[in-house]
Structure 1
Amino acid sequence: MVPAPLRSKVVLVWVFILGAFLFFLFAPLPNQIDAYRDATVDDAHDAVPVHTVPHQSQWKPTELKDLTSKYAYATFLAGNDKDEHDDVYLLGARILAYQLLHAQGTKTNNSIPFVVIVTKTVSPAKMERLQKDGAVVVVVDDLVAEWIVLKSPINARFKDVMTKLRLWELTQFERICLIDGDTILMDNIDGVFDDPAVKTQQTQNKAEAIKDDEAPFPHEYAFASTAEPKIVHDFPPTIENNGYRYGPNYLNSGFIVFQPSAAMFNYYTSLLDKDDQRWGEALPEQNLLNWAHRRPHGNMPWQTLDRMWNIHFPTVRDMEAGVKSLHEKFWNPEHQDLKPYLERVRDKMVEYFEKRDKEGS
Structure 2
Amino acid sequence: MCAPPSSRRARRPYLVSALLFLISLWYLYSRPSPPIIDLNYGLLNAADATSSKYAIATFLSGDQPYDTDAYFVSARMLTYQLLHAPETRNSRPIPFLVLCTKAVPEDKKARLEKDGATVIVVEDVKLRWWIRTGVTRWADQFTKLRLFEMTQYTRILFLDADSLLTGPIDAIFDTAAVRTPARTNFSRVAQIKADEAPVPAQYVFAARSDNAFSGCREHAFPPPSHNAISAGFWVAAPSRELFRYLLSTMNSYRRFDPHTMEQSLLNYAFRREGTMPWRELEPKWSATWANQADVDGGVVALHEKLWNENLGDGGGVGELRKRWYEMQDRMKKYFKDRDEGRINDTELGS
TM-score by length of 2: 0.77
User: Is 1:290 equivalent to 2:276 in the alignment?
Assistant: no
Which amino acid in 1 is paired with 2:160?
Answer: D
Which amino acid in 1 is paired with 2:140?
Answer: D
Which amino acid in 1 is paired with 2:169?
Answer: I
Identity %: 41
| Deviation digits for residues 115-172 of structure 1 (CA, Å, limit 9, x no counterpart) | 11101111111100110010001110011323367x5x73211210000000011101
2:321 corresponds, among 335, 339, 342, to 339
1:213 corresponds, among 176, 187, 195, to 195
> 1: distance between equivalents of 2:81 and 2:173?
17
What corresponds to 1:178 in structure 2? 158
| Deviation digits for residues 207-228 of structure 1 (CA, Å, limit 9, x no counterpart) | 1110011111011110000101
What corresponds to 2:276 in structure 1? 300
> 2: distance between equivalents of 1:207 and 1:321?
40
1:104 corresponds, among 71, 79, 86, to 86
> 2: distance between equivalents of 1:303 and 1:207?
20
> 2: distance between equivalents of 1:121 and 1:148?
23
How many pairs are equivalent?
281
> 1: distance between equivalents of 2:143 and 2:169?
25
1:105 Cα shift? 1.1
What corresponds to 1:320 in structure 2? 296
What corresponds to 2:117 in structure 1? 135
Q: Is the 8 A contact 1:227 1:251 kept in 2?
A: yes
User: Is 1:73 equivalent to 2:50 in the alignment?
Assistant: no
Where do 4+ consecutive residues of structure 1 move more than 6 Å?
A: none
What corresponds to 1:166 in structure 2? 146
> 2: distance between equivalents of 1:289 and 1:136?
25
1:275 Cα shift? 3.6
What corresponds to 2:28 in structure 1? none
Q: Is the 8 A contact 1:310 1:323 kept in 2?
A: yes
Task: Evaluate the alpha carbon distance shift between residue 69 and residue 92 of structure 1 in structure 2; reply closer, same or farther with a 3 A threshold.
Answer: farther
| Deviation digits for residues 321-350 of structure 1 (CA, Å, limit 9, x no counterpart) | 211110011211745322111121111111
> 2: distance between equivalents of 1:113 and 1:281?
32
User: Is 1:258 equivalent to 2:236 in the alignment?
Assistant: yes
What corresponds to 2:183 in structure 1? 202
Q: Is the 8 A contact 1:148 1:159 kept in 2?
A: no
What corresponds to 2:126 in structure 1? 144
Q: Is the 8 A contact 1:275 1:281 kept in 2?
A: no
Task: Evaluate the alpha carbon distance shift between residue 310 and residue 341 of structure 1 in structure 2; reply closer, same or farther with a 3 A threshold.
Answer: same
> 2: distance between equivalents of 1:324 and 1:306?
11
> 1: distance between equivalents of 2:111 and 2:294?
32
Unaligned 5+ runs, structure 2: 1-50, 345-350
1:79 Cα shift? 2.1
> 1: distance between equivalents of 2:148 and 2:156?
9
What corresponds to 1:271 in structure 2? 249
Q: Is the 8 A contact 2:134 2:259 kept in 1?
A: no
Task: Evaluate the alpha carbon distance shift between residue 166 and residue 131 of structure 1 in structure 2; reply closer, same or farther with a 3 A threshold.
Answer: same
Alignment map for 1:27-38 (pairs within 5 Å): none
> 2: distance between equivalents of 1:294 and 1:147?
24
| Deviation digits for residues 11-43 of structure 1 (CA, Å, limit 9, x no counterpart) | xxxxxxxxxxxxxxxxxxxxxxxxxxxxxxxxx
Task: Evaluate the alpha carbon distance shift between residue 157 and residue 254 of structure 1 in structure 2; reply closer, same or farther with a 3 A threshold.
Answer: same
1:312 Cα shift? 0.4
1:173 Cα shift? 0.7
Task: Evaluate the alpha carbon distance shift between residue 138 and residue 214 of structure 1 in structure 2; reply closer, same or farther with a 3 A threshold.
Answer: same
Q: Is the 8 A contact 1:73 1:114 kept in 2?
A: yes
Unaligned 5+ runs, structure 1: 1-67, 240-247
> 2: distance between equivalents of 1:183 and 1:147?
32
Bigger mean CA offset, 301-310 vs 321-330: 321-330
> 2: distance between equivalents of 1:268 and 1:171?
15
What corresponds to 1:354 in structure 2? 336
Secondary structure in 2 matching 1:282 = helix
Q: Is the 8 A contact 2:184 2:200 kept in 1?
A: yes
**Greater C-alpha Rg:** 1
What corresponds to 1:26 in structure 2? none
TM-score by length of 1: 0.75
1:238 corresponds, among 224, 227, 234, to 224
> 1: distance between equivalents of 2:337 and 2:52?
29
Task: Evaluate the alpha carbon distance shift between residue 273 and residue 331 of structure 1 in structure 2; reply closer, same or farther with a 3 A threshold.
Answer: farther
